Structure 1
Amino acid sequence: MSVLIVIPARYASTRYPGKPLVVLRDADGVSKTLIQRSWEAAMAVRGVDRVVVATDDARISDAAESFGAEVVMTAESCANGTERCADAIGRLDGPAPTIVVNLQGDAPLTPAWFVEDLVAGLRADDGADVATPVLRCDGRALAGFRQDRSAGRVGGTTAVFDKSGRALYFSKEVLPFTGHDYDPDMPTPVFHHVGVYAYRPAALARYTGLTQGPLEALEGLEQLRFLENGLTIKCVEVEGRGRVFWELNNPEDVERIERVLAGRVPDA
């Protein structure tokens, strides 16, 4: 079963224009763009046959090619990363993959085992069309979600799923509601949705023929299009293993991520 990782990246982000080219410094003071650090995260995943950056912007393409990435140019009309992955598949030469992984270009802290466990989870569930990782929040992570919401920032996404791991809903609100306070290292009932997806090619092809539904429009979450149209998403719980995971959603997240790259746990 061949695995392809696609890293969709666009320059004209509504919330953070030019985000893929934002520079992040690590513990050694080395500066690399967000797209390069995301590509390096993808290259560290075992069992992957090919990694490509999918973009419609020449600036991102030039930057990616400068550090050795394979690039596929996609249509400007792609509205989200899933659409860009689907578009990229149709433009690539070579044999079709069995599993397509969407490793979005704003998550350079994604550990390799998140993706490895994700692919294994999709392979193990024949009834799932898509799989995506979820990470149980500890008190520190939940406090970060709450802080973002109280400040009016759109932070990470939460996931709610049934006993078999099938997704019920995803939201930029903190779901499920809990009025409790938790110690920093205490597990909570809230799951952070990690913005990575593994698709079966048939599900990815079907996605492009579906129209945006009201929930996707309200939340701004592309995966809700699958749920609104009756497709199944498997939530694969992954282990943090002491690693801090945070996506780059807002300019304020640059400092958070640089603290992790420097080996210091960021403030909640």
Structure 2
Amino acid sequence: MSTLVVIPARYASTRYPGKPLVELRGATGVAKSLIRRSWDAAMKVQGVDRVVVATDDDRIKDAAEAFGAEVVMTSSDARNGTERCAEVIAQLGESYDIVANLQGDAPLTPPWFVEKLVEGLQNAPDAHVATPILLCSKEALASFKEDRKNDRVGGTTVVFDKDKRALYFSKEVIPFAPTLDVLVYHHVGVYAYRPASLRDYAALPEGPLEKLEGLEQLRFMENGLHVQCVEVENPGQEFWELNNPEDVPRVEKFLVQLGLE
């Protein structure tokens, strides 16, 4: 099946303006922008036919093209990465079987997460979208709780049914976890869609839960669409997205641990 990977990136982030161009240092001390590191992660995914950066900002476009990325310009009206992916597929045509959304703030995403996600969508014919979930370590759960305690937006957690169909996603820690021994699943911000699902999504209004949580995937759920969770194994290091300026040293620490330059 043909697969397109889209890396949505916007400059005007509410929590962290200019985030895609923030420089991160790895094991060798070399500084690379967040969008460059996200592109490098996408290029390691096997079985992908095309990778594009989707943005509405010329600064991101220029930076991405400077390191050899293909860029698709989208409108400034896109409210989230899924809407941006929908614009990309509208421009490029629905000739791809699966569109993967590799968020531009998750450069630590292992390539096999995306590969397993695509496989998971193929194996769930009734699903409109698939997304990976990862069992939280005690350390990650403690970090999530610390972020919430300090009124910072940290990772997203998820609960699901026996068939791993998503029931809800939240920026709060769910289910209620009074100790570090409760099983909590971290939602990794990557998606695989069928092109028709993106077209449907773009036509739906933003729902109240999506607005409250700031989580784009809730629009599918608020309209009764099937979001399939695909469990992935711990990659051997703490997984973290770059949501706030405070996350930069965390991500850099993990880059060093992984030996990424």
Paired residue secondary structure (2:99): strand
Once the two structures are TM-superposed, the CA of residue 92 in structure 1 deviates from its matched residue by: 2.4
Once the two structures are TM-superposed, the CA of residue 96 in structure 1 deviates from its matched residue by: 1.4
Once the two structures are TM-superposed, the CA of residue 81 in structure 1 deviates from its matched residue by: 0.3
Q: How does 1:1-268 map to 2 (within 5 A)?
A: 1-92=1-92, 96-182=95-181, 188-263=182-257
Paired residue secondary structure (1:82): helix
The alignment of Structure 1 onto Structure 2 pairs a total of residues equal to 259
**Following the alignment from structure 2 to structure 1, what is the Cα–Cα distance between the partners of residues 235 and 24?**
23
Is residue 37–residue 108 contact of structure 1 (8 Å, CA) maintained in 2?
yes
Tell me the alpha carbon deviations over residues 218-246 of structure 1, each in whole angstroms, 9 at most, x when there is no partner.
Answer: 10100000000010000000001313210
Paired residue secondary structure (1:36): helix
Is residue 141–residue 180 contact of structure 2 (8 Å, CA) maintained in 1?
no
Is residue 72–residue 92 contact of structure 1 (8 Å, CA) maintained in 2?
no
**Following the alignment from structure 1 to structure 2, what is the Cα–Cα distance between the partners of residues 53 and 73?**
8
Once the two structures are TM-superposed, the CA of residue 201 in structure 1 deviates from its matched residue by: 0.7
**Following the alignment from structure 1 to structure 2, what is the Cα–Cα distance between the partners of residues 161 and 116?**
21
Q: Which segments of 5 or more consecutive residues in structure 2 lack a partner in the other structure?
A: none
Q: Which segments of 5 or more consecutive residues in structure 1 lack a partner in the other structure?
A: 183-187
**Following the alignment from structure 1 to structure 2, what is the Cα–Cα distance between the partners of residues 37 and 218?**
30
**Following the alignment from structure 2 to structure 1, what is the Cα–Cα distance between the partners of residues 179 and 143?**
15
**Following the alignment from structure 2 to structure 1, what is the Cα–Cα distance between the partners of residues 77 and 134?**
32
**Following the alignment from structure 2 to structure 1, what is the Cα–Cα distance between the partners of residues 248 and 239?**
13
Is residue 145–residue 155 contact of structure 1 (8 Å, CA) maintained in 2?
yes
**Following the alignment from structure 2 to structure 1, what is the Cα–Cα distance between the partners of residues 127 and 54?**
25
Tell me the alpha carbon deviations over residues 55-110 of structure 1, each in whole angstroms, 9 at most, x when there is no partner.
Answer: 000000000000000000001100100000000112227x7110000001000000
Once the two structures are TM-superposed, the CA of residue 181 in structure 1 deviates from its matched residue by: 3.2
Paired residue secondary structure (1:7): strand
Q: CA RMSD in A?
A: 1.3
**Following the alignment from structure 2 to structure 1, what is the Cα–Cα distance between the partners of residues 191 and 60?**
22
Q: Identity, % of aligned pairs?
A: 67
